[in-house]
Structure 1
């Protein structure tokens, strides 16, 4: 249930909490091999409100770097940015489990650093879990967090925070060596206790193999329909950007519709058709 309300007289964002429990970590674990999990990214209260009834999980992704801030990659994202947007998403939702990406440089140095960063995010936002990138090297950190009460979602394959090492956004798992490493990394993260595993940009047979070999649900993004769920960047699937990855299906053309609406607005302003009688205040008699 939502514990945060806004004054409907002063705010456009007015959550109307429904008496229901949020999706929990154990509930996500039980979905392994069952009905696919639905996850989308969210960065703002209003978008969270609109998506919450339809999603099992909302991810406050570090993709906000490009989507919200126009940055070239996720590398510059800070804890402050993730905390601010994470709190906004929690305020706008009441059903979905909210998870927050750990920014680059806030968890890799040591398990202790990771715990301090993750604890801050959960305390300042009210979110239920964090997500971090990396394979077997991060397994001890995943275990360290979980043993201290912080649920973790893993992320393997195309890991955007490591783009400077990877050298590009191409699909992973095309060679035997890369396939073996992806499977080993996934198993290590799952065995460390991650309650879900995002598999990004991995060739389909490898994503299917990983899904079969790990006990936790897998969530594909550019992976396979055999994954236990799917996630996309919301603004990509809504068609807000002209350039999107191969694995994105555009479910709408919001960019075109927004452009058309703004064009009509501009024409009405210039012709003085707006504001009309319904949008102005008449003097009282």
Structure 2
């Protein structure tokens, strides 16, 4: 059985932002043997700017001396193989380069997207459809994040983007309550591939939500093979919930502390107000 979690932030901050974020070695030890494919997600917004965490963590690959590492330049992922205490044989872990990008709609609201397997940094704050087309041109896997939330597409517009061939699937994260999940799935997007992701800000919670499939005859992992599996719905979604208390500790408290600084900066004030108080027009 292959288990994959396609959106995860090991910590709210990137290694270059804070000294107390987990190291790549800590992350790999926690993920190896529990998960087979995991996204290491950066977050690009107009308020916080460009997040370089995937590349910051890739600079720590030299610290993984007890593992075998295969990192092909431009591949959009890294493969790590090694022994896990108490488990027979060697385990394999694929860490994906994942970027959550906050795009801009014509009604001046935001839509968050998750682009997987693309090495080029995709800039935030640009037109949603233009950004989606760019990600597809770069051969990325494109998912919609936070659908129905303040910084996500509405369910109806999300399904339109899927029908127009601009996204491969639609995420439901562990931050969404079971009641809200049911509401989302009672809309037309239920007919699109629904990708259950953790979306948390603590590497230890990776796998809370995931998708899985039985092992196939695929010899080597590739972005194209994962994209095909998602597009054709060849997986099972597994939803798990992260409580409000856990979310507060992992994410929300850091957001609350950062708001005054963003509001004090004239260049960022509009973006933070748009994210906090969206004014959507229609569906």
Looking at secondary structure, tell me which structure has more helix per residue: 1
| TM-score of the aligned structures, taking structure 2 as reference length | 0.39
Of the two, which has the highest radius of gyration? 1
TM-score normalized by the length of structure 1: 0.39
Higher relative contact order (CA 8 A, sep 6+): 2
